[in-house]
Chains A and B, each alone.
Chain A
Amino acid sequence: MNGPTLFGLCAAALVGFGLYGLIVNPQPLRKIIGFNIIGSGVFLLFGAIARRGAAVGMGGDPVPQALLITGIVVAFSATALAVALLLRLFDEGGLVTLASEAPPTKTTADPPDA
C-alpha cells in the first residue's frame, strides 16, 4: 500500500459515489454535481497512474498529467452547458426536473431513468 495505490482506490470509491449520486438524485443540478464527482474520480485515477509512472527524475508521467488538464477543462465546459440548459428550463417556468410533463408512452421502466 503506497500513495498512488491508495489514491487509486479513493478514485474508485469516488466514481462509485458519483454514479450513485447521478442516478438517485432527482434534481438536475445534483446530477451535474454527481457527474463532476465521477469526472474527478476518473482524473484522480489517471493522476495515480501518472504518479506510478514517475521516472527519469520527473515527479510523474507528463503525458497523463497533460491529458488531465485537457480533461478538467472539457468537464468544466460540459458543466457550463448543462447549467445553461438548466437555467433556461428554469426561466421558462417549467418544473426543473427531468420527468417530462407528458411522458411519452413509457416503455419498460429501466433503472437509470435519469
Chain B
Amino acid sequence: MSPSLSAQNLTTLGGLLLVLAILVPFAGMLIGFVFGGGNAQRVALATLAAGLAIAIAIANALAQSGKAVVYILGGWMPPLGVALRADGLSVVMLLTVAVVICGIGVYARADFGTPSGVKEARAPLIFWLLLLAVWGSLNLVFVSGDLFTLYVALELLTFAAVPLVSLDGRTETVRSALRYLLYALLGSVLYLLGAVLLYGAYGTLDIPLLAARVRPEPAAWAALALMIAGLLAKTALFPLHLWLPPAHAGAPAAASAVLSGLVIKGSWFLAMRLWFDVFADVVTLPAAQTLAALGAAAILVGNVVALRQTRLKLLIAYSTVAQIGYLFLMFPLATGLATAGLDSAMAVNGGMLQAISHATAKAAMFMAAGLVYTTLGHDRVADLRGVASALPMTVLAFALAGASLIGLPPSGGFLAKWLLISVAITTAQWWWALVMLVGGLLTSVYVFIVVVRTLAPAHVGWNPKTTVPRYQQAAVLALALCSFLLGAAVLCPVDVTQIGRTVSRNTVLP
C-alpha cells in the first residue's frame, strides 16, 4: 500500500472521539425516547453540550496531530471493515453543525417546551428526538470513510428531516413532506446505484482505496453521474429544487433553521467529498462547469422568485435555493486550478467558507422569521411595521445575516466570495465572478426591503401579540454574529481545512 494510504488506515489518538461524535447523539435520542415527556428535552440539551465538547476535542486533536483523525471500527482493516476519518473539511463542518445546533437548541426551548399540565406532548418530544437524529446523521456523513455507511447516513438524515417538515400536521406541510421524501429517496437510491457500480468495478467501498483505484472508464463515469445526480436531488440544486420552498417554509421556525442551514449541507458535503477525493482522476472541467451552470441558474432563478414572495418564510426558503447555487460554483474553480497544476486549496476553502457562513446566516434568518411571526401573528413582508421597535436584537441579527449572504466585509460570505472571485480570475473563468456579483446584488435587494420595512414606525397604539423571551433573540443574534465575524478566519495562521487532505495535494494532473 502506498505510504499515503497506510497513513490513512491506522487508528490515531483522537479516533475514539469520532465514534463518540456519532453515537452520543443517537444514544441521547434513544434515551430521550424512553424517558419521553419533559425530560426528553433535558436529555437533548445535555447531549447538545456533550456533543459540542466532542466536536471541539476533535478539532483540537486534528490541530495537534496535523493529520487526519482516523478510527478503524472493530479493528477490521478497511477493505473488509469500516474506517472513520476526519480531515480538515470534516472537522470544520463538525464544528459548524455543533455550534448551529446548540444555537437552535437554545432557541427551541421556548417553542418546544412540554406544556406543564401534559405528561407528554407530541411535537416537543418528536422535535428533540429528531434534532439529535439530524445531528448524529450529519456527523456520520462528515466522518464516515465508507460509501455504504454514507448511504445509511443519508437515509438517517432523510428520515430525521422529513417528519420535521410535517411537525405541525397541516395538510399542506404533510403534502410537501411527502414530496420531499420522494425526491430524497430517489436521490439516495441513485447514490446507492453509483456505489454498487463502484464496488462492482473496484471491489471496495473505502474512499482512500477507491481514490487509488478509480480510473476514467465507463463504470466510473456512470457512477459519478448517478451519485452526483442523486446528491443534487437531495441538495435541491436548481432543476430539482421544487420540493424545498414549501417544505422549508411550512416547517416550524426551529425546524426550518435545521433543514435549511444544516440538512442540505450533508448531501452537499458528500458531493464535494466524492468530487475531490474519490473521483479526483475522473472529473473533467466541462463536467464541473455544467454543475456550476446549474448553480448559476439556481442563483438567478432563486433570487428573482424570492423577490416576488409575499411571505417572509417563503422568501428565505427561495433565498436558500439561490445560496445553494453558490455552493456549486467552487467545483469548476477547483478543477480549473487542478488542471492548471496549481493547488486547489483556495477554491475549496472558498466553498467551505460559503457553506459555513450560509449555515449560520440562514439558521439565524429562519429563527428571526419565527420570532417575527410570534410577535406580529403573521409574516407578510408587506406590513412588518414596528418589528424593529419590538425586536431590536432580532432585526439586527437579520440584517447581519443578510449582510453575510450578500457578502459585505467583514462577513464570512465576503471572504468566501473574495477567494472564489480571485480563483475565477486566476483560472480565467471570469463569468462565475460575474454571476456571484449579480447574485449578491439581487440578494441585497430583498434583504434591504425586509430590513427597511421592519424599521418603519409601528401604527399608533399597536403592541406585539406576544413578548418573545430575550434568550431567543440572543441565540439568533449569536448565530448571526458568528456568520458576520467569520471574515476573521483569514487571520488564523493554520489553514485548518487543508489539514490531512494529502489526497488533494498529490493529485497534480499533467
Contact = CB atoms under 8 A, between A and B. Distances in A.
Task: Let me know if chains A and B touch directly in the complex, using CB atoms closer than 8 Å.
Answer: yes
Interface of A: 15, 22, 28, 31-32, 35, 38-39, 42, 45-46, 49, 52-53, 63-64, 67, 70-71, 74, 77-78, 81-82, 85-86, 88-89, 92-94, 98, 100-101, 104-105, 107-108, 110, 112-114
Interface stretch (B110-118, B174-182, B467-475): B174-182
Contacts of A104: 245-246, 314
Q: What 3 pairs between A and B have smallest CB-CB spacing?
A: A49-B200, A92-B171, A85-B178
A113 B242 contact: yes
B199 to A, nearest CB: 6
B196 A45 contact: yes
B148 interface: yes
B301 A45 contact: no
A81 B181 contact: yes
Interface string B288-311: 000000000000010001001100
Given A35-B189, A107-B301, A108-B301, A100 B172 contact: yes
B287 to A, nearest CB: 20
Contact of B242 (A39, A67, A89, A110): A110
12 contacts: A15-B193, A42-B192, A49-B200, A53-B203, A70-B152, A78-B159, A82-B181, A82-B185, A85-B177, A93-B171, A108-B301, A112-B240
Contacts, number: 104
B186 interface: yes
A35 B155 CA distance: 14
Contact of B178 (A22, A64, A74, A98): A98
Contacts of A105: 305, 308-309
A98 B178 CA distance: 8
Interface in B152-202: 152, 155, 158-159, 162-163, 166, 169, 171-172, 174-179, 181-183, 185-186, 189, 192-193, 196-197, 199-200
B239 interface: yes
Contacts of A49: 196, 199-200
A77 B272 CA distance: 28
Contacts of A77: 155, 159
Contacts of B169: 88
Nearest to B154: A74
B196 A100 contact: no
B80 interface: yes
Contacts of B155: 74, 77-78
Given A49-B199, A107-B301, A89 B240 contact: no
Nearest to A70: B152
B196 A114 contact: no
